[in-house]
Chains A and B, each alone.
Chain A
Amino acid sequence: MLIGIDVGGTTTDAVLIDEGKVIKTSKVPTDHDHLLECLMGALDEVVREVPTDKIERVVLSTTLITNLIAEGKADPVALIMEPGPGMNPENLALEGEIRIVRGAIDYRGREIQPLDEDQVEKAAAAISERGYRKVAVVSKFGQRNHSHEERMRKIVLRTNPEIQVEMGHQASGRLNFPRRAATAMLKVASQDKYRQFAEQIAEAVSKRDIAAPIYILKADGGTLPLETSVEHPVETIFSGPAASTMGVLALTPPDQTSVVVDIGGTTTDLALILDGVPLISSDGARVDSQLTHIRAFAVKSVALGGDSRVRAAGDEVTLGPERAGPAFCLGGPEPTPTDAMRLLNLISIGERALAEVAMANLGQDLGCSAGEAAQKVVDAAVEKLLSEIEAMFLAWELEPAYRVWEILQKEKIRPQNVVGVGGGSLGLVPLVAERLGVEGIIPEDAAVANAIGAAVARPTLTLTFRADTDRGFYTVAEDGTTGEIRDKKFGQKEAEALAKRLIVERAERMGISEYASEAEVTSSEVFNMVRGWSTSGRILDVSMQIPAGLIPEWTGGGRR
């Protein structure tokens, strides 16, 4: 039996799955100050009368990190930064206590200016003095040569051993140094509170005699064992939208192209599944105002929901962006799209008579009947969703590309299905699908799709390998692993073999080694380095990944 629990903005949902079927569900209101209690409340309801030894897996998606950051409750962090030559570091969009030090590493990991250790010492003393206990030390191109970051860390610890130091290359090794700095800062800012939370969960679950492994869902739709997730707290941000996309993946036939439409009260989240694989954002996630390296699904949030404020503007209606409160037909103060859908019998929740009152009022402003007003509201909502969906596909098509083959192969793709989850989707998704001329699907278990998605998601893993045979070393972007390459003839075959070995090791460290064999090479490139008139070495780039997907135990959604 599989258990999935999704902590959403309003409710916390849990499902119990047995042999590809959802056999039990529960919903409790989310209390953001008592997340653990919500999780356990939802869990207790689905496991009641279930023998705990039958439970094979528990997966959680949580808003903990999202809330910590949004509410400014994460720990304060100072940054010591070695920017080297390039953009003026004063212009970087980074917030907080930032100290800039001299020193530089170049794009191939060569030291081009020694680190000014005196400056680091002074910065560390000042930071400690100001009461910071968390520090990120980040060097431009630090992922290609850690030595300056290691040195900065030592100096900070020497100044104050109680300070927790995060190095940029360990937060991410991808190119983009401001994002790396932001990611490292978020990581160290949220780590303590996240660890505390994870320990509480582990304890609460074990108290219930559940010995099954516990996983946490990441923003890229992959699961991570709870105990290793404490090393990667920020990757669990946005696990909610990831859960709903994974839910749709689970509840629709395999290998199809679908638009996921998750309509809530205030907003609608749109995501794409292309040939059975959820689309990952090519840049990292935006957290608050900060751009990061966190791998996340390309989810677009549209300010339109069942409770959006509806206003007359001449004989047209405007929707949102703010929430009007609950729908009028559910006792709320103002007309909403839910009222329009209720009046047109697209949905059956709420009092139809109240919906009629709401739409008649709106009709007065518009100079039309209640029915016509409702139609206008629904039409406006459908139009808005259609244009956002089109824009999403366009944005995907127009993503920059750096190789000839990428430009030639990217074709125009349009969806086979529009799949609705979330409260408001029942009324609107069939209309959107009809306009697109594709199938509209509201899965049977749409109301708990998020929890299902969490329950059946498998781990994901990436590995970005770069070897520089001229300088004789390789690096792994994700965790800053480096090693020597002595063989001057090291070529593409050797690079791919080494990358495969490294991803297996990485999977072991993450506690997901049983999935390591699923890893595939997504790109492999060789650059001959020519100096003078002869080849002096090669740069080899290999990318591997285990993409988001479902565990083999899941047989629902048309899979047998």
Chain B
Amino acid sequence: MRNYREENKDRARKMGLIFFPAFDWAITPTHPEREERLLYTRDQIFEEGLMDLPEVEEYKPRLADYKDIARVHFCIPSAESLVTEAHLIAAGSTLVLADAYMKGEITNAFALVRPPGHHSMRVAHGNRGFCNVNNEAIMVEYIRRKYGIRRVAIIDTDVHHGDGTQEIFYHDPDVLFISFHQDGRTLYPGSGFVDEQGGPKAMGRTINIPLPPETPDEGIHYVLEELVLPILKDFRPQLVVNSAGQDNHYTDPLANMRFSAQGYAKLNEMLAPDIAVLEGGYAIETALPYVNCGIILAMAGLDYSNVREPDYHPGRFSMSRTMEANIVSTVEYLQGIWEAREELTAKAVERAGPFFRRHKDIFYDTDGIREKQTESVKMCPDKSCPGYMTIDTDAARGYGHSESGFGVFVPLFACKRCREEGREEYEAHKTDSRYNYIFFQDKNADDFRLYSTRMHNERVY
């Protein structure tokens, strides 16, 4: 199997950058996700002259196709009505960089774009945690489809648990998802605990590292050094993606961590992601200009030691003994999970029976939607087949109005039998009047269909 990560390592260093601040797009005029968010970042990185550096190549964004979205999401009522042009551009930016990276034009890339995406799940009824569609997932599935790679690692470094990305790849043994974040008991979205470890066939491929509030650089670098990097070494991904939130910063207004611009730059140097995609980060003056400057310099292989916030000095934040003990024990526990992933997988598959089922309640904070889901995954006897999945969804917007749907998802590396059964399920549900929308996703055939049971029409992507 070709390992683009290895191949790209020895090329002359050049990072690809798309800066898309969407200066004419906001969720609402005073929402954190507004025009002003990257304004001071623009000032800082342009004033530094970073775009002129021979180590930096600036690319122009493009719009993603609706098909790129359908490759990941079951959008209700449709992708066209759920995403704005700004979302298509943010997602499209990651695809431009993905192509440039895969073709070897650049050694690594940073999509410094908004709006973000990592809270968007497979089924999307609206905006959750400022996200409509999942930029990283759209990019990963695009790359896997177009360039035939299989093993991908996504490291979510946002302060919030990357619950959307986790959910999309939960049953995929070829996608390693690692998220470190402020403990879900103290922060949105209230998930990302150590016992969320992946579906039965992908145990240990989801690793959640909840960290105590006020964890400084030192704590996150410890996690990286002791847990994340060794796991990556074992997993040998063909592509490493940093889902790069900037809200671990000590001045972020929506969270409580103690990370600095130096810490972020060093994180990217240590992790050496192939492609980083911006997620959250709302300290638009005190953090973002410095954090982004640091990340760009680190990814371009340049000295970032002179990047610092005006009120920062080394040693400003330190860890208490209790905090250190807490992090060490989390890391030790997860090391054990990783080591035991094969046994855990075998046991979980055995326990699940022919189908693995779970119920989920999902809340869309931004749009005020309450969704109920039942997810069902076939425990295919073929060991290398992840099995097809169905999701039964019902979402209530406010009081009284609700939309329901049934989605069938056939993964990229599914066996022939699962592909056939998946298609049969889709056909059979077209006449099921309990649902408003039926969705079919066959990643292997790159065939995506949305059927409206009220209008009796099918949209093929």
Q: B302 contacts which chain A residues (CB < 8 A)?
A: 87-88, 91
B43 at the interface (CB under 8 A from A): yes
List which A523-539 residues lie within 8 A (CB) of chain B.
525, 527-530, 533-535, 539
Q: Is the CB of B310 within 8 A of A113?
A: yes
Q: Is the CB of B49 within 8 A of A177?
A: yes
Q: Is the CB of B306 within 8 A of A175?
A: no
B453 at the interface (CB under 8 A from A): no
CB distance from B78 to the nearest CB of A (A): 20
Query: Given A104-B310, A107-B43, A404-B22, are A176 and B61 neighbors across the interface (CB < 8 Å)?
Result: no
A408, closest chain B residue (CB): B85
Q: Is the CB of A402 within 8 A of B19?
A: yes
Q: Is the CB of A400 within 8 A of B58?
A: yes
A372 at the interface (CB under 8 A from B): no
Which of B22, B36, B60, B289 contacts A398 (CB under 8 A)? Answer: B60
Which of B19, B21, B305 contacts A88 (CB under 8 A)? Answer: B305
Query: Given A85-B308, A528-B36, are A404 and B47 neighbors across the interface (CB < 8 Å)?
Result: no
Q: Is the CB of B47 within 8 A of A176?
A: yes
A474 at the interface (CB under 8 A from B): no
In angstroms, Cα B48 to Cα A176, docked, is 6
Interface size of A by Cβ–Cβ distance < 8 Å? 44
A86 at the interface (CB under 8 A from B): yes
B92, closest chain A residue (CB): A407
Q: A352 contacts which chain B residues (CB < 8 A)?
A: none
B297 at the interface (CB under 8 A from A): yes
Q: B18 contacts which chain A residues (CB < 8 A)?
A: 400
Q: Is the CB of B36 within 8 A of A539?
A: yes
A532, closest chain B residue (CB): B253
CB distance from B58 to the nearest CB of A (A): 5
In angstroms, Cα B302 to Cα A88, docked, is 9
Q: Is the CB of B85 within 8 A of A400?
A: no
Q: Is the CB of B60 within 8 A of A399?
A: yes
A309 at the interface (CB under 8 A from B): no
B25 at the interface (CB under 8 A from A): yes
Q: Is the CB of A175 within 8 A of B43?
A: yes
Q: Mark B300-344, 1 if CB is under 8 A from A, else 0.
A: 001111111110000000000000000000000000000000000
Q: Mark B31-69, 1 if CB is under 8 A from A, else 0.
A: 000111001101110111110100000111111000000
Q: Is the CB of A87 within 8 A of B30?
A: no
Interface size of B by Cβ–Cβ distance < 8 Å? 47
Interface centre among B48, B49, B297, B303 (most CB of A within 10 A): B49
In angstroms, Cα B35 to Cα A92, docked, is 31
In angstroms, Cα B294 to Cα A85, docked, is 10
In angstroms, Cα B454 to Cα A39, docked, is 81
Q: Is the CB of B23 within 8 A of A179?
A: no
CB distance from B15 to the nearest CB of A (A): 14
CB distance from B357 to the nearest CB of A (A): 41
List which A448-497 residues lie within 8 A (CB) of chain B.
none
Which of B24, B29, B30, B63 contacts A403 (CB under 8 A)? Answer: B24
In angstroms, Cα B23 to Cα A73, docked, is 44
Q: B61 contacts which chain A residues (CB < 8 A)?
A: 400-401, 407
Q: B308 contacts which chain A residues (CB < 8 A)?
A: 85
List which B426-443 residues lie within 8 A (CB) of chain A.
none
Q: B304 contacts which chain A residues (CB < 8 A)?
A: 88
A141 at the interface (CB under 8 A from B): yes
CB distance from A79 to the nearest CB of B (A): 15
Q: B52 contacts which chain A residues (CB < 8 A)?
A: 93, 176, 178-179, 283, 291
Q: A90 contacts which chain B residues (CB < 8 A)?
A: 303
B253, closest chain A residue (CB): A532
Q: Mark B1-37, 1 if CB is under 8 A from A, else 0.
A: 0000000000000000011111111000110001110
A151 at the interface (CB under 8 A from B): no
A231 at the interface (CB under 8 A from B): no
CB distance from B297 to the nearest CB of A (A): 6
Q: Is the CB of B310 within 8 A of A529?
A: no
Q: Is the CB of B47 within 8 A of A177?
A: yes
A18 at the interface (CB under 8 A from B): no
Q: Is the CB of B22 within 8 A of A108?
A: no
Q: Is the CB of A400 within 8 A of B59?
A: yes
A398, closest chain B residue (CB): B60
CB distance from B160 to the nearest CB of A (A): 20
Query: Given A86-B307, A528-B30, A539-B39, are A107 and B86 neighbors across the interface (CB < 8 Å)?
Result: no
B72 at the interface (CB under 8 A from A): no
List which A512-555 residues lie within 8 A (CB) of chain B.
525, 527-530, 533-535, 539
Query: Given A104-B310, A141-B47, A178-B49, are A405 and B36 neighbors across the interface (CB < 8 Å)?
Result: no
A23 at the interface (CB under 8 A from B): no
In angstroms, Cα B48 to Cα A179, docked, is 9
Q: B23 contacts which chain A residues (CB < 8 A)?
A: 402-403, 525, 527
In angstroms, Cα B49 to Cα A178, docked, is 6
In angstroms, Cα B18 to Cα A401, docked, is 9
CB distance from B305 to the nearest CB of A (A): 7
List which A150-205 residues lie within 8 A (CB) of chain B.
175-179
Q: B20 contacts which chain A residues (CB < 8 A)?
A: 401-402
A106 at the interface (CB under 8 A from B): yes
CB distance from B11 to the nearest CB of A (A): 21
A89 at the interface (CB under 8 A from B): yes
B167 at the interface (CB under 8 A from A): no
Q: A283 contacts which chain B residues (CB < 8 A)?
A: 52
Q: B305 contacts which chain A residues (CB < 8 A)?
A: 88
Q: Is the CB of B48 within 8 A of A86?
A: yes
B207 at the interface (CB under 8 A from A): no
List which A399-422 residues lie within 8 A (CB) of chain B.
399-405, 407-408
Q: Is the CB of B25 within 8 A of A404?
A: yes
B415 at the interface (CB under 8 A from A): no
In angstroms, Cα B86 to Cα A458, docked, is 39
A140 at the interface (CB under 8 A from B): yes
In angstroms, Cα B50 to Cα A92, docked, is 10
Query: Given A401-B61, A527-B36, are A175 and B46 neighbors across the interface (CB < 8 Å)?
Result: yes
Q: A498 contacts which chain B residues (CB < 8 A)?
A: none
Q: Is the CB of A530 within 8 A of B30?
A: yes
Q: Is the CB of B50 within 8 A of A87?
A: yes
Q: B59 contacts which chain A residues (CB < 8 A)?
A: 398, 400
Q: A176 contacts which chain B residues (CB < 8 A)?
A: 46-47, 49, 52
Query: Given A400-B58, A404-B86, A404-B89, are A85 and B46 neighbors across the interface (CB < 8 Å)?
Result: no
A142, closest chain B residue (CB): B47
CB distance from B230 to the nearest CB of A (A): 31
Q: Is the CB of A106 within 8 A of B310?
A: yes
Q: Is the CB of A88 within 8 A of B40?
A: no
Q: Is the CB of B24 within 8 A of A107?
A: no
Which of B19, B21, B24, B293 contacts A86 (CB under 8 A)? Answer: B293
Interface centre among B47, B61, B89, B304 (most CB of A within 10 A): B47
B41, closest chain A residue (CB): A107
List which A79-110 residues lie within 8 A (CB) of chain B.
83, 85-93, 104, 106-108
CB distance from A407 to the nearest CB of B (A): 5
Query: Given A140-B47, A407-B63, are A89 and B285 neighbors across the interface (CB < 8 Å)?
Result: no
In angstroms, Cα B23 to Cα A404, docked, is 8
CB distance from A149 to the nearest CB of B (A): 14
Query: Given A403-B24, A527-B35, are A107 and B310 neighbors across the interface (CB < 8 Å)?
Result: no
Which of B50, B89, B310 contacts A407 (CB under 8 A)? Answer: B89
Q: Is the CB of B310 within 8 A of A112?
A: yes
Supply 13 further A-B pairs (C-beta < 8 A) apart from A87-B306, A178-B52, A401-B61.
Answer: A87-B297, A88-B306, A107-B43, A141-B43, A175-B43, A400-B61, A402-B21, A403-B23, A404-B25, A527-B35, A528-B35, A528-B36, A529-B36
20 pairs across A/B with beta carbons < 8 Å? A85-B306, A85-B308, A87-B297, A91-B303, A107-B40, A107-B285, A108-B40, A108-B285, A175-B43, A175-B46, A177-B47, A178-B52, A400-B18, A400-B19, A402-B23, A403-B22, A404-B86, A528-B36, A530-B34, A539-B36
**Residue positions of A touching B, CB distance < 8 A:** 83, 85-93, 104, 106-108, 112-113, 140-141, 175-179, 283, 291, 398-405, 407-408, 525, 527-530, 533-535, 539
**Which 6 residue pairs spanning A and B have beta carbons closest together?**
A107-B43, A112-B310, A175-B46, A88-B303, A178-B49, A527-B36
